[in-house]
Amino acid sequence: MSIRRSLFESTLALLLLACSERSASLTNTAGTGGSAGDTAFSAGGAGEIAGASGDIVAGAAGEGGSANVSAAGSGAECEPAAPPNAWASWPLPDPTSFGQATSQRYTETSVDVVTDDVTQLTWQRRLSDGTYTWHDARSYCDCLTLGGYDDWQLPSRVELVSIVDFTRQDPALDPVAFPSTPFEWFWSASAVAGAGEQGLAWYVAFWDGNTHTGTTDSNYRVRCVRRAERSPHQYSIPGDGTVADARTGLTWQQGMSNTQLAWTDAKQYCSQLVLAGGGFRLPNMKELQSLVDESVTDPAIDGASFPQTPSEGFWAVNPLADTQTAAWFVNFGDGISYNSLIERTYRARCVR
């Protein structure tokens, strides 16, 4: 579990993350607006740099080969995918609920392919053994033929976040739907805004589910996706202090808490919010990350719909799995997600 990661692993993660202009240090990684001394427990992980860029081995990691898996090698020129879908155009799957429309669930359509029944995204179920630079990761998915399909793509940040299960760790996703998933970093197709020539892109760490940025020449793992048609990003503002997102079905508080709050106080703040008829709660991690606007920073959110949002951390309702002392937040300075001690203070923006 993240809170018990070794000093060596944490130091290694720190050295790798230091390549990024926005990389968070292991203390107070949240960026501007966080309390001094905040601890990001999620740094570190086993096997982050194993394998060479472009290595492709058919079949599942640790589960034997699959005759249906094929992909061109590093540098292959296949038809490039459409730009990544930066916005969720579906309800956010919730692994904490059961029997509801948004309860996280999957259908295994073959040994190699699984479909998310909530988002209708189709996923590569079993993985190549290789690690890839960001550009090679995109080429790998563009060239992948799997389960009778050849329209695979590298998932966007929000698509990759949709399969995270914040109720568990090592790995932080459904182990039946996605067997033998290593506790490592996985590339998304989403580039980092304003990175300039340095070349930064988003990844998700599947030992606990944290979302961060890495240099595009780093070697991370890959899981490809087949997606539905892209949908436009559009909020509606009814004028009652809320913002509606028809794509996810969520209604947001347009404002936020006036001050930073401890995690328990943030949950209470939302439950007592009487805005526009009430019924609000603190959002879960997937819901909160759906607000991140990858095209801007400081703050990384739609400024017209959510004006005066500070570049600070905002609490999510999810505790860090297997702990009682830490919970998750999203830093809207740049959009990274981490976990912190529950007595630390961040903002709250409520949802219903």
The full set of domain ranges for the chain reads 45-231, 242-341
> Would you state the pLDDT for residue 233?
75
> Would you state the pLDDT for residue 148?
92
- Closest-CA residue to 310 (of 325, 300, 295, 319): 300
Residue 238 near residue 45, CB atoms below 8 Å: no
Whether residue 182 is preceded by a cis peptide bond, meaning omega within 30 degrees of 0, is no
pLDDT tens by residue, the chain, 352 residues: 444 343 334 433 433 333 333 333 333 333 333 333 343 443 333 332 222 233 323 333 333 333 344 454 445 568 877 888 899 999 999 999 999 999 999 999 999 999 999 999 999 999 999 999 999 999 999 999 999 999 999 999 999 999 999 999 999 999 999 999 999 999 999 999 987 667 999 999 999 999 999 999 999 999 999 986 666 778 999 999 999 999 999 999 999 999 999 999 999 999 999 999 999 999 999 999 999 999 999 999 999 999 999 999 999 999 999 999 999 999 999 999 999 999 999 999 999 9
> Would you state the pLDDT for residue 17?
38
CA distance 23 to 214: 8
> Would you state the pLDDT for residue 79?
80
> Would you state the pLDDT for residue 293?
96
Q: Residue 219: how many CA atoms within 13 Å on its side-chain side?
A: 15
> Would you state the pLDDT for residue 80?
78
Residue 301 near residue 294, CB atoms below 8 Å: no
Tokens of 241: 């202090």
> Would you state the pLDDT for residue 191?
94
Our CA angle for 142, 185, 285, nearest 5°, is 100
> Would you state the pLDDT for residue 196?
62
Measuring CA to CA, how many Å separate 298 from each of 117, 199, 283, 302, 348?
Answer: 35, 19, 21, 11, 17
pTM for the model stands at 0.80
Q: Residue 330: how many CA atoms within 13 Å on its side-chain side?
A: 28
> Would you state the pLDDT for residue 229?
67
Secondary structure (3-state) at 243:
strand
CA distance 276 to 241: 7
